[in-house]
Structure 1
Amino acid sequence: MTQNTRKHPDAGRSKAASAGGLSVGQGAALSIGAVLGTGVLTLPALAAEIAGPASLLSWLALILLSVPLAGTFAALGARYPDAGGVATYVRRAFGDRTAAMIGWCFYTAVPAAAPAAAMMAGRYVADAIGGGRATEITTAAVLTVIVWALNAVGLRLSGPVQLGLAAVLAALMVLTVVVALPHLRPDAVGPLLPHGWGSVAAAAGLLVWAFAGWEAMSSLAAEYRDPARSVPRATTIALITVGVLYLALAATTILVLGQRAGASAAPLSDLMALGIGPVARPATAVVAVLLTIGTMNTFFAGAAKLGAALARDGALPDWFAQGSSAGAVPRRSLLIVGGGALLSLLVTSVAGLDLTTVMLLATSSFTAVYLVGSAAAVRLLPPGWARRGSVIATAASLALAVSIGAPMLWPVGVSVAAALYLAFRRRG
């Protein structure tokens, strides 16, 4: 792609971006809401199960990785403000085929991610009312159907409601840390590195789930009043807030629950029960369900619209394109997303897959998106600190992909399928 073709569309987009009304504070709140998600319900315990107390190093590594990663997408958003986000940057850097491949990775990640998110809420329901695995799977199925139905009839949680749910989650994290602090038991932590250094890398691969969302900030860039100045500031606020909250909760889980942390199915409930009593368990379960509905609603709505847009652009069969216009409900694409999520949940139940395995399929897709998006930034950004940061982000994403291991075959397979489909369509 020539330099001239890059400049022309950006000029129009920059002018359009200046008409946005998003302030730095609002943008930071949206960014925090995009990153904070259902991972906090279970990930501190899952990471502790994999790496023990050394999982704190995994959390710290992901926080440090978020600095160049978020900075890269912030720089892209400030320079090329467009609602297409990562897909726009990848298309500009590597062409339509690679953009379609990344679009497929996003689209297929949701059917894998939604059951994992729903199962997290299911663990909290099972912790409150009993029933074990059966309650966990049943709750996940019910939540999937509810969110699917809400989207099918065109009901969407408004922006303020989504922000409110994110605020509730942040408040729950703070409250959990505060009520659990008097019960610190450093002597019960156990060996700091019980499973070797490899376990730290493995835990980091899983924790990508908790930090997925930095790419969403680039899609919001066109909504700021002054993208070039506001996006970096909002990103800095979000980075500090998210980093502090995650690290505080992970440390509290290990220092309070000790060696029991890895075996906890509902760590927030366990921590809250220590400070408040048994009544905290059903209350935390209700909050977990509401937060999960909000997160899954965003997943389903965004993926369904993405599928329709991919079909509109020729990257999926034309049948999917229904509902791609603004304000329309993409029911056909949603049918695939919801049906795929239920099928994924069925396979998980029948095969007896654990939550970690299911989550790694989703985090592998997120990692692939970060890797290709960062590589696009290396090609698009001018020489300077932002470009150096994108080089670091690309290298770190590649290392993360290696640490995830075999599950990375999932996005590779999806990308190959996308390329084959495009080749077949063009021949036809």
Structure 2
Amino acid sequence: MSGGTAEDGTRLRRRLGTTDAVVIGLGAMIGAGVFAALAPAAAAAGSALLAALALAALVAYCNATSSARLAARYPASGGTYVYGRERLGPFWGYLAGWGFVVGKTASCAAMALTVGSYVWPAQAHAVAVGAVVALTVLNCAGVQKSAWLTRLIVAVVLAVLTAVVVLCLTGTGTGTGITGGEGADWGGVPQAAGLLFFAFAGYARVATLGEEVRDPARTIPRAIPLALGITLVVYVAVAVAVLSVLGPDRLARSAAPLAEAVTAAGAAWSAPVVRAGAAVAALGSLLALILGVSRTTLAMARDRHLPHALAAVHPRFGVPQRAEIAVGAVVAVLAGTADLRGAIGFSSFGVLVYYAIANAAAWTLSPAEGRPPRAVPVVGLMGCLLLAFTLPAGSVVAGSAVLAAGAAVYAVRNTARNAAP
């Protein structure tokens, strides 16, 4: 691979198996999104929420398939940053990496603030900073420890979500039904799908950990679809259960839809448990996000798009500690000083552009290189662009501005490099 060869002291160790990779993907996807994204999606699509979920899942499946084939071909840290660079050229790899690091750093801060708002609302910023510091320290101690904690978090969250589904479908409350209220808003389906896509995007975490996975050509293509499939089943079950109790109108107005759903179902005693599950879910998402952003930072630092000092790998723990600490420090500052609830749309825009580049890169694979069926990257690319540009206007403008700024920095540095003797 051109431009991506790690120097001595920057190579990561392959320690993760298929189960670890699936669990890390689940930890990223089955997180705070399922506790929070249903309400704004219902506000956009009404009773067509399930159609929006299906559209988001279709785009996610195409992205997952393209990413899996590329990750098997290029099993190095960095995900689409590496794929875009190798298949489309250095600029497209850089743009994908820039969008991922900036967007997901904002998402990290949002997840940290979600933890704080559930654990101790009056001190949400302080709790958020503490969560970031604790997880950064954990990640610096080794990726195997992070995978172990992620497995525990996923188990807790799945247990809570299972309880929500059972309580809603068997409860004594009087629900309005899935189609209750004003009905479907089909024009809002793409925007709702874009918001729900935010909750699916964690399967990229498996690809960005490609350099730490054993037998990546076999493990990654198996782990990504498995994680995505399990997540889709969980999300559909939760959406149907919550809609059956609250209906689309009440769901759209709810600040804590899953907790409100179990209360409406006659199981108010379980609402504190659901809130605790939301906090644990956000913690799991934050853990996986920091892992992914730090690995993309490592890959970009290797190619000197970011300070090269961030490319160092700790000789004992086998992790990019400097990248971990740098990402953790930036996220801690944002979590401690900013209200980033509006950053979800911004982050979604950056991630959708990231996957659009992944699909374009997958299109260039030959059959001998494991190219997916031609329709997969085409639908993925078109779907990503559709969802990205139907997000709220503020998110589209902010995301486009940040990507343009990154492109300008690249152009200036490239010009200076070419002009150097």
TM-score by length of 1: 0.79
Q: What is the letter of the counterpart of residue 272 of structure 1? A: V
Taking a change above 3 Å as real, the CA distance of residues 89 and 47 of structure 1, as seen in their structure-2 partners, is same
Residues 153 and 315 of structure 1: is their aligned pair in 2 closer, same or farther, counting only changes over 3 Å?
same
Question: 1:348 touches 1:358 (CA, 8 Å); kept in 2?
Answer: no
Output the amino acid matched with 1:388.
A
Q: Distance in 1 between matches of 2:72 and 2:323?
A: 31
Say if 2:217 is the partner of 1:227.
yes
Partner of 1:389: 376
Deviations 1:304-335 (Å, cap 9, x if unpaired)? 34324422321113454455778366565455
Q: How does 1:133-144 map to 2 (within 5 A)?
A: 134=122, 136-137=124-125, 139-144=127-132
Matched, 1:191 2:191: no
Distance (whole Å) between structure 2 residues aligned to residue 270 and residue 363 of structure 1: 26
2:383 and 2:143 mapped to 1: Cα distance? 39
The one-letter code sitting in structure 2 at the alignment partner of 1:376 is A
Q: Tell me by how many angstroms 1:43 deviates.
A: 0.8
1:118 matched to 2:112? The reply is yes
Instruction: From the superposition, tell whether residues 324 and 401 of structure 1 become closer, same or farther in structure 2 (CA, over 3 Å).
Output: farther
Gap change, CA 1:51 and 1:106, over 3 Å in 2: same
Structure 2 match to 1:266: 256
One-letter identity of the residue aligned with 1:263: R
Residues 39 and 252 in structure 2, CA contact (< 8 A), matched pair in contact too: yes
User: What corresponds to 2:350 in structure 1?
Assistant: 365
Q: Residue deviations 1:114-152, cap 9 Å, x none?
A: 2221333344346xxxx6xx5555543443444456557
CA contact (8 A) 1:89 1:376 kept: yes
Check whether the contact 1:374–1:390 (CA below 8 A) recurs between aligned residues.
Answer: yes
* C-alpha separation in 2, matches of 1:425 and 1:152: 35
Amino acid at match of 2:162: V
Equivalent in 145, 148, 155 of residue 160 of structure 1: 148
Displacement, 1:201?
A: 1.7
Q: Corresponding residue for 1:179?
A: 167
* Distance in 1 (alpha carbons) for counterparts of 2:210 and 2:366: 16
Q: Give me the whole-angstrom Cα distance separating, in 1, the residues matched to 2:242 and 2:232.
A: 16
Is there any run of 5+ residues in structure 2 with no aligned partner, and where? 6-12
Q: 1:403 aligns with which of 390, 393, 396?
A: 390
The answer to whether 1:109 aligns with 2:109 is: no
Residue identity opposite 2:131 in structure 1:
L
Instruction: Report if the CA contact (8 A) 2:71-2:79 is conserved.
Output: yes
Aligned partner of 2:240 in structure 1 is 251
Query: CA 1:376–1:324 in 2, change beyond 3 Å: closer, same or farther?
Result: farther
Q: Quick check: 1:72–1:390 contact (8 Å CA) kept in 2?
A: yes
Task: Name the SS of the counterpart of 1:186 in structure 2.
Answer: coil
- The answer to whether the 8 A contact 1:143-1:293 is kept is yes
Alpha-carbon distance, 1:269 to partner: 1.9
Q: Summarize the Cα distance change of 1:97–1:59 in structure 2 as closer, same or farther, 3 Å threshold.
A: same
For residues 255 and 49 of structure 1, the distance between their equivalents in structure 2, rounded to whole angstroms, comes to 16
Unaligned runs of 5+ in 1: 10-16
Change (3 A) 1:62 1:379: same
Tell me if structure 1 keeps the 8 A contact 2:138–2:145: no
1:242 pairs with 231, 237, 248, which one?
231
Separation in structure 2 between the aligned mates of residue 83 and residue 321 of structure 1, nearest angstrom: 11
Which residue of the partner structure matches residue 291 of structure 1?
281
The structure with the largest helix share of the pair is 1
Which one-letter code corresponds to 1:403 in the other structure? T
Matched, 1:210 2:202: no
1:158-215 superposed Cα distances (whole Å, 9 cap, x missing partner): 312212212322222222111111346235820113xx43322221221221110233
Matched-pair identity in %: 27
Alpha-carbon distance in 1 for matches of 2:244, 2:56: 20
Q: What number of residue pairs does the alignment pair up? A: 399
1:305 and 1:231 map into 2 onto residues whose CA distance is 16
Match of residue 17 from structure 2: 22
Query: 1:92 matched to which residue of 2?
Result: 86
CA 1:73–1:320 in 2, change beyond 3 Å: closer, same or farther? Answer: closer
Q: CA–CA distance in 2 between the matches of 1:22 and 1:386?
A: 27
What secondary structure sits across from 1:368 in the alignment?
helix
* Residue aligning to 2:292: 302
Residues 370, 396 of structure 1: alpha-carbon distance in 2 compared, 3 angstrom cutoff: same
Q: Offset at 1:49?
A: 2.5
Q: Which amino acid aligns with 1:99?
A: G
Q: For residues 146 and 37 of structure 1, do their structure 2 counterparts lie closer, same or farther at Cα, with a shift above 3 Å needed? A: same
Distance verdict in 2 for CA 1:211–1:252, change over 3 Å: same
Q: Cα offset for 1:234?
A: 4.3
- Aligned-partner SS, 1:103: helix
**Structure 1's 265 and 89: CA in aligned 2 closer, same or farther, altered over 3 A?**
same
- Corresponding position: 1:376 with 2:361: yes
Please give the per-residue CA displacement for 1:309-367, whole angstroms capped at 9, x wherever unaligned: 42232111345445577836656545543443345446643xxx7x3x22011111111
Contact map agreement 1:185 1:256 (CA 8 A) in 2: yes
Q: Distance in 2 between matches of 1:125 and 1:262?
A: 23
Could you say what the CA RMSD is over the residues aligned between the two structures, in angstroms? 3.5
Report the secondary structure of 1:292's partner residue.
Answer: helix
Aligned residue among 392, 413, 417 for 1:422? 413
Q: CA deviation at 1:266?
A: 1.7
Q: State the alpha-carbon separation in 2 of the partners of residues 325 and 377 from structure 1.
A: 34
